[in-house]
Amino acid sequence: MDVTFFFGALVLYVVGTVAYLLLLSVKGTRLSRLATAATTGGFILHTLALLVRLVAAGRLPPRNTYEALSVFAWATVLVYLGLEFRFQRKVMGAFILPIVLLTTTAAASLPKGPAGLNPALTSTWVWMHVTLILLGNAALALTCGVGLMYLLQERQLKSKSLGAISHRLPSLDFLDGLSHRTLLVGFPLLTAGLITGALQAQAAWGRFLTWDPTQALSLITWVMYAGLLQARLTAGWRGRKAALLAIVGFGSLLVAFVGVSVLLGHPHAGN
Amino acid sequence: MVILTVGLNHTTAPVEIRERLHISDRQLPAVLERLGQEPAVLERMVLSTCNRVEVYAVTQDPAQAEAAIPELLAEGTQTPLALFADRLYRHHQEAAVRHAFRVAASLDSMVLGESEILGQVKTAYQVALAQEATGPILNALMTRTLGVAKKVRTETGIGESPVSVPSAAVELAKKIFGELSGRRVLILGAGEMAELAARHLRGEGVQAVLVAHRQFDRAVELAARLEGRAVRFDQIREELREADIVVSSTAAPHYLLHRADMEELIRLRRNRPLFLIDIAVPRDVDPAVNEIDNIYLYDIDDLEGVASVHRLERQQEAAHAELLIEREVASFMRWLKSLDVVPTIVTLRRRLEEIRETELAKALDRLPNLNPEQQAVVRTLAHGIINKVLHYPTTELKRQSVNRDGLLYVNVLRRLFGLQDDDR
């Protein structure tokens, strides 16, 4: 049942992503409505999928990698829809929905059944650790999407050839501000997630750090984001460099999160 | 009844002729009045802008109206007819309708897609309407024209991107800063183009305009015109730290702002973005400054380049607009045709004859014993009634059709006899 809802959501996200991407080059009120409607519909099915799983298991997801990715995508869509509603800027969808699609597709390819449950994830602390990191990831995914938009608009302005895409993208000021605000939300969540993870590791293995690849990469990622925030707040960093670093940071986050947990058989592997 | 346009525009006549034929708002009522005295002209409207002078008319005698309108224009503007007679174009019916649509949609404008013309058409129509110079056909044409023009603006991108240098500068500033309210503009030098750009930026609500000039009194002068503040030229280093947009147009023979200085400046500004508009020739700002992060430098050629790309985009959008207009012309012509007197009379006669035949058949059915002669009498009777009934309306309709009220009669008749859908 929940898997059916999940795949329904996936199909609608595909429709939404394609519609948002098309909106970059064509004008159309119907297409624009379709993009939002498909994404909202996908989000509702996605919520149902998570709810059904919650009721069946009697406790909150995520409990395995599939659910983790699913919750991450869900949170990203939630924040994105909020932003679209707030700013009425559909163009952001073209840069954020592809990230959602990527993670939902990755989740779809993983084993979903209760058999794949990770016993370690039954602890409330571990659940806290995972959930905080997922929410942080969702906010930082937006920082990345907004950063991509910034780089595109900046390139258009610097090269002095303004294409059709430049008319649809928001101003640099708006994008840089949004990038900063999403970072201000995402970074503390990520930090809290990492701290709960370390405390958990201390309790389970007697060490804060076991230096498994996920931990190592997460730490590097955290240092990058910390540097970015520090540079923004004290050195007045902004614009292109900040956008670039936000994109690199998110790339490393994805590798830590998706790559390592899927590929390696470790406590962090989850399945 | 024929819709007719007689006029000249920027493609057929140079400005020396257009300015002589220009009809001011004050003269317009008199010209409309005078056109109304010409019997061949049933409805009339005059559109006079700096790029065109056109008369839209409805006439039952196109040859006479075509000859009379230029003479009346010559008389009304006190310009010899010989000066502009060969500059005039004349459009009839479908071509006149298409012309009206294209003009209002700005496809016939000097600057493709400019939005001013729509307002001018609207005003010209309102003046004519107030003077009762228009009638049912021009009213319908103008209502449709304004609708089509709006549709073209919303459904195509013809008016979307700015095509002049100052408005392109404003557009770029908005792409960098979003809202311009609360931004500071610094003007270096006092060129005409700089002033124009500053006015455009003022119109977008920039908070402060500062003017610096090597001759302080000139800075004061320009600042007064722009409601800004004059600053000493040796203070521009400090002002550059605060400004968001700089418009530079000094007469300096060398670069005024160098790369090294600007790198230092952006550091002092803590990377706050700076938009440099260099419209001086020779240039005031070293082009290498554009390579610095968070500084955006556009010289006059760059701005012209942006504007010309937009002009190209508008041409592409114009092709969509032409298609849209063709559909609207066809639809309007269908409506116009339905108003013709002759088809209306034919349809009315056919309707009455149908009734006659049905009723005759019923009556003869109930009278099976009539001999052929008696049957013929009944038939003639029915025939006669229809013809007698139709006679007067038919002649009156034909007589009225050459008057302005003709359409009203046609409309009422079609409504009363339910002929609306008969000729589809």
pLDDT in tens, B165-213: 888 889 899 999 998 988 999 999 887 888 888 888 888 889 889 999 9
Those residues with Cβ within 8 angstroms of residue B222's Cβ, 6 or more apart along the chain or in another chain: B187, B190, B195, B211, B213, B228, B230
Cβ-contact A162, A156 below 8 angstroms: yes
Do the chains contact at B272 and A161, CB–CB below 8 Å? no
Residue A186: what pLDDT? 92
Nearest residue to B32 (alpha-carbon basis) of B64, B56, B62, B67: B56
Residues of B whose CB is below 8 A from A236: 270-272
Looking at residue A259, what is its pLDDT? Answer: 59
Cα diameter, chain A: 59
Tell me the pLDDT tens digit for each residue of B96-147. Answer: 999 999 999 999 988 888 888 999 999 999 999 999 999 888 999 999 999 9
d(CA A156, CA A152): 6
Residue ranges of A 198-257 with Cβ closer than 8 A to chain B: 235-241
Tally C-beta pairs within 8 A across A and B.
52
User: Cβ separation of B305 and A170 shorter than 8 Å?
Assistant: no
Q: Is B50 a catalytic residue?
A: yes
B206: left (phi over 0), alpha (psi -120 to 50) or beta: beta
The first and second tokens of residue B373, run together, are: 């002669």
Nearest to A150 by CA among A164, A171, A181: A171
Quote the CA–CA distance of A26 and A31 in Å, as a whole number.
Answer: 9
Q: Look at B298 and A160 and tell me if their CB atoms are within 8 Å.
A: yes
**Residue B424 pLDDT:** 40
CB of A55 within 8 Å of any CB in chain B? no
Q: Which residues of B touch A241 (CB under 8 A)?
A: 293
Which parts of chain B sit beneath pLDDT 50?
422-424
Please list, in sequence order, all residues whose beta carbon lies within 8 angstroms of the beta carbon of residue B158, skipping any fewer than 6 positions away: B105, B106, B107, B112, B113, B152, B314, B317, B318, B320, B321
Counting Cα atoms < 13 Å in the Cβ hemisphere of B126 gives 8
Q: Could you say which residues from 147 to 166 on chain A have a Cβ atom under 8 Å away from some Cβ of chain B?
A: 153, 157-158, 160-162, 164, 166
> Domain-by-domain residue ranges, chain A?
2-269
The DSSP H or E segment spanning B31 is helix B28-36
Q: Does A7 touch chain B (CB under 8 A)?
A: no
Q: Which of B15, B30, B50, B412 is catalytic?
A: B50
Report the pLDDT value the prediction gives residue A147, as an integer from 0 to 100.
Answer: 93
pLDDT given for residue A270 in this prediction = 43
Calpha distance B61→A60 (Å, rounded): 85
Is A59's Cβ below 8 Å from some Cβ in B?
A: no
- For B67-116, the DSSP string reads HHHHHHHHHHHT--HHHHGGG-EEEEHHHHHHHHHHHHTTSSSSSTT-SH
Q: What is the pLDDT of residue A40?
A: 94
Neighbours of B127 (CB within 10 A): 18
| Cβ partners under 8 Å of residue A173, min gap 6 | B176, B177, B178, B273
Query: Which is it for strands B295-299 and B274-278: parallel, antiparallel or unpaired?
Result: parallel
Q: Evaluate whether B7 touches B69 at the Cβ level (below 8 Å).
A: no
**Angle ∠(A99,A60,A96) on CA atoms, nearest 5:** 10
Give the pLDDT of residue B423.
Answer: 44
- Nearest-CA distance from B243 to chain A in Å? 15
- What is the pLDDT, as a whole number, of residue A264? 47
Share of chain B above pLDDT 70, in %: 98
| Residues lower than pLDDT 50 in chain A | 115, 264-266, 269-271
Closest of B68, B42, B5, B32 to residue B402, by C-alpha: B42
